[in-house]
Amino acid sequence: MELDFNNPIPLHAQLKNILEDQILQGYYKDKIPSERELMDMYSVSRSTVREAVSILVREGILEKRHGKGTFVSLKPVQEWLKMISFTETTKNMGIKLLNHGPVITPENIADANGFEDESYHIKRLRLQDDIPIAIELHYYPIELGQKIAEYDLSTTVLYDALEGDLNINFCEAEQIITCGYPTMEDAEHLAVSDTMCLLITERMIFDSDGNMVEYYKGLFRSDMYSFAMKMSRKNN
Amino acid sequence: MELDFNNPIPLHAQLKNILEDQILQGYYKDKIPSERELMDMYSVSRSTVREAVSILVREGILEKRHGKGTFVSLKPVQEWLKMISFTETTKNMGIKLLNHGPVITPENIADANGFEDESYHIKRLRLQDDIPIAIELHYYPIELGQKIAEYDLSTTVLYDALEGDLNINFCEAEQIITCGYPTMEDAEHLAVSDTMCLLITERMIFDSDGNMVEYYKGLFRSDMYSFAMKMSRKNN
DNA sequence: TAGTGGTCTAGACCACATG
DNA sequence: ATGTGGTCTAGACCACTAG
């Protein structure tokens, strides 16, 4: 990939996109080239490189370490996402039910996917070795949600319930990774500070007829796996 | 205020602090000087000015408008804070109770202020002309909270209850303004987008013996008052 | 000592907004 | 035409990290 100097898109934005793609595709797994190396690779000034990199840092994808380099901080999260994905290997994995019940469907969900005015909402805390690592928000069509509610939600794995007993086949799942920040309530549940970064995952699940049967959002602690790294960094 | 070129604190950080102070003290009420003017005023390069300003933009205190200038976006919030402060002039003001009950005191609150393990939590939605503008989180000592719970919380103004019938005198109130971002749940309640900025207000209230009787956090929509400004900007 | 990110400068041209 | 923020360059020195 090269920069297009005639493209009206700013060079730092182009470079940011290139780096982001390369990171997401696993080309850079740990460390990205130094700022001066990127200057040469893409024939731009250091300011432009720094602008591109700082955007990715702000988004939580990269992490700078003074005197050492710039490092990918997404990897641990990708591993999580695998770990907590559909298959849900429940080893050391716990669930705590926080809330559930019918709610008025949030506008952004209803607009995007044609849910009814009401939907069934389930809010769960996800634990790993008894440590809270994520909050999950689930929205279901009201009838489906009510069926799901008959299960013991605090212990049952939702997808198993969906797939097995409720006779639903998953057709499609979209996954979007963005970056956000916790508010007080999430901070409480996850025991994170006000400014700590959370990763937000969105997922829509459809049945074989193409109807959305679940809208999912997960908020994940971005520090859980990078904590050890930060500790070792401090100890050096 | 001038920059100290011998101070190890980076110039952009010094300038950022100066600008922030001046904004909070009302010296700049609408527009701050242009980047080139700030260059001359503080004898620094444009990069340094831009770095300082961009921090304040990231924190939601300033707002840039291409071709026009850099503007203060905190003013409306300060007006809110007055509007919704202790006196609580309830004109056009509504309250909706979202949650209340005993909870395990969040660690950061317990640590800082010596609350008991359990505290009484009240979560309210604040409305202005039926439009949700803020979420409030209140924590009380468990006994006090239980008394408060006997009131009709969805309509009663909390501070009136505290001061009048429960025989408590306020001694001190600290107010911290920081900036954060909403998660899904807050976005739902306040009907804001994922990336919209919320302002977080913290307040601790003590009785005449110096015991904390309330820990308060409010999440405010930062767009409510700047909306009109943005609209007029688009219409130009 | 060499390499890294952090800070800072001086200058340039562009795109947007306004009179 | 002028002023604003947006982008970009080339170069410099500093502070931190490591072999």
- Whether residues A107 and B187 touch (CB distance < 8 A) is answered with no
Residue B127 confidence class, pLDDT cut points 50, 70, 90: low
Is B233 contained in some domain?
no
- Same domain, yes or no: B145 and B207: yes
Give B-chain residues touching A199 at CB under 8 angstroms.
Answer: none
- Same domain, yes or no: A35 and A91: no
Is B2 contained in some domain?
no
Is A234 contained in some domain?
no
pLDDT at A194: 36
Is A6 contained in some domain?
no
The mean pLDDT value for B87-115 works out to: 61
Checking if the pLDDT of A232 tops 80, the result is no
Domain boundary among B27, B52, B72: B72
Residue A71 CA to D18 C1' — how many Å? 17
- Same domain, yes or no: A97 and A138: yes
Domain, as residue range, for A145: 77-228
Tokens 């990269």, residue? Answer: A62
Residue pairs spanning A and B at CB distance below 8 A? 60
B188/chain A closest Cα distance in angstroms: 6
- Same domain, yes or no: B66 and B104: no
CA A127 – CA B113 distance, rounded (Å) = 28
Is B6 contained in some domain?
no
- Same domain, yes or no: B66 and B119: no
- Same domain, yes or no: A64 and A172: no
- Same domain, yes or no: B108 and B141: yes
- Same domain, yes or no: B109 and B27: no
Is A120 contained in some domain?
yes
The mean pLDDT value for A72-100 works out to: 52
- Same domain, yes or no: A206 and A172: yes
pLDDT at A69: 93
In this structure, what CATH number is given to the domain that contains residue B41?
1.10.10.10
Tokens 């050492």, residue? Answer: A68
**A133-147, A154-168, B103-117: which has the highest mean pLDDT?**
A133-147
Domain boundary among B72, B90, B122: B72
**A51-65, A126-140, B107-121: which has the highest mean pLDDT?**
A51-65
What total of structural domains would you count in chain B? Answer: 2
- Same domain, yes or no: A179 and A213: yes
Residue B37 CA to C10 C1' — how many Å? 16
Q: What single string gives the DSSP state of each residue in A112-168?
A: HH---SEEEEEEEEEEETTEEEEEEEEEEEHHHHHHHHTS-TTTS-HHHHHHTTT--
| Predicted model pTM | 0.48
Higher pLDDT, A104 or A218: A104
- Same domain, yes or no: A60 and A168: no
- Chain B residues touching chain A at CB-CB below 8 Å: 47, 58, 106-108, 123, 137, 178, 180-188, 191, 193-195, 198, 200, 217, 219
Higher pLDDT, A95 or B133: A95
Give A-chain residues touching B182 at CB under 8 angstroms.
Answer: 180, 183
Percent of chain B at pLDDT exceeding 90: 14
In this structure, what CATH number is given to the domain that contains residue A109?
3.40.1410.10
Higher pLDDT, A50 or A8: A50
Is A5 contained in some domain?
no
CA A84 – CA A98 distance, rounded (Å) = 18
Is B4 contained in some domain?
no
| Cα dihedral B152, A187, B24, B29 sign | negative
Domain boundary among A57, A72, A87: A72
- Same domain, yes or no: A109 and A28: no
Give A-chain residues touching B198 at CB under 8 angstroms.
Answer: 183
Among protein residues, the one whose C-alpha sits closest to the C1' atom of D17 is A67
For an interface test with A, the pick among B185, B192, B194, B199 (most A C-beta atoms closer than 10 Å) comes out as B185
Checking if the pLDDT of B33 tops 70, the result is yes
Checking if the pLDDT of A78 tops 80, the result is no
Among protein residues, the one whose C-alpha sits closest to the C1' atom of C5 is A66
For residues A182 and B183, is the Cβ–Cβ distance under 8 A? yes
